[in-house]
Chains A and B, each alone.
Chain A
């Protein structure tokens, strides 16, 4: 269930769960995790890391850190979700900071998503995620329709149908190395059209 995070009813329930988690109550920890982990993963970590494995690691670390620091959490009348989100953002930033050493392929596509986001996010809205997902799919579909059909096929096979490189190369009847180049060009063509459709992102460095 996706609770209305600003409702008094939810905040009262959340305070009980936080008190339980402070005592080490596994049921309370599980309830908080089930409520917030999926949305922190989808809304905060995946757009900042662009790598499922890294996002999972960051999610796990976020909750571990939160449990360690739970005694210092003061709700001030708002959901713990916002506190968890700040921890998650810091975890993602830390991962980018050590990227040169870990050699993990991390990328933030937050800026590409930004133009699709409402100017005033309303985390209490249950339908917002679904609406945003639908809007994103629609924009991706529109951009795919605008690019060279061969590029469209390369992207669709590799990312939407989740075919392996070898399968993609076989279907498109090219060598593996040629498919890699085709995909690179396809992605760059997609990006140009994306920026033309939704606006170019401001380039931001992750320190």
Chain B
């Protein structure tokens, strides 16, 4: 039989489909499975279906990536832990700041006009000293009361 004797249309379609399948791994409608099967067997006989080292390594990378996704690395877990601890520390600090006493100066009551007048009177007339003392005692009481409101009784 010569190579191109009696080639019918169906055989031609099958031959083209087989060529595409062997070259590009694409299965057309007329792909003859008997011939594809035989071709695969002959190819397999050459090396027993050996997986090349390069392909074995490349596939290992995919497998390891899948393993990493299934089990996050310990470093990653620590990162989450540190993140959570940092968040907790920030929250605690905020709480302390919110609950801490006001550190601004205590607003003390201003001396009233009576105390100032008694002070002036005492400079001119030493007999006005008792009046000054009384005004001063009253003012001191107001200051102590203000300090007690701010810091509590000690």
Contact = CB atoms under 8 A, between A and B. Distances in A.
A159 B56 contact: no
Contact of B15 (A29, A45, A51, A181): A181
Interface stretch (A2-10, A74-82, A132-140): A132-140
Majority-rule SS of B interface residues: helix
Interface string B40-52: 1111111111110
A112 B15 contact: no
A95 to B, nearest CB: 12
B23 A165 contact: yes
Interface residues of B, number: 54
A184 B48 contact: no
B71 A136 contact: no
A155 interface: yes
B107 interface: no
Contacts of A140: 41-42, 45
Say which size band chain A's interface belongs to. 35 or more
Interface stretch (A11-19, A36-44, A85-93): A36-44
A178 B4 contact: yes
Interface of B: 1, 3-4, 7, 11-12, 14-16, 18-23, 25-28, 31-51, 55-56, 59-60, 62-64, 66-68, 70-73
13 contacts: A29-B67, A45-B49, A47-B49, A54-B25, A55-B49, A104-B27, A105-B22, A109-B40, A174-B4, A181-B3, A181-B15, A183-B19, A187-B18
Query: A-B pairs with the 7 shortest C-beta distances?
Result: A24-B71, A50-B40, A46-B49, A105-B21, A42-B49, A133-B48, A180-B15
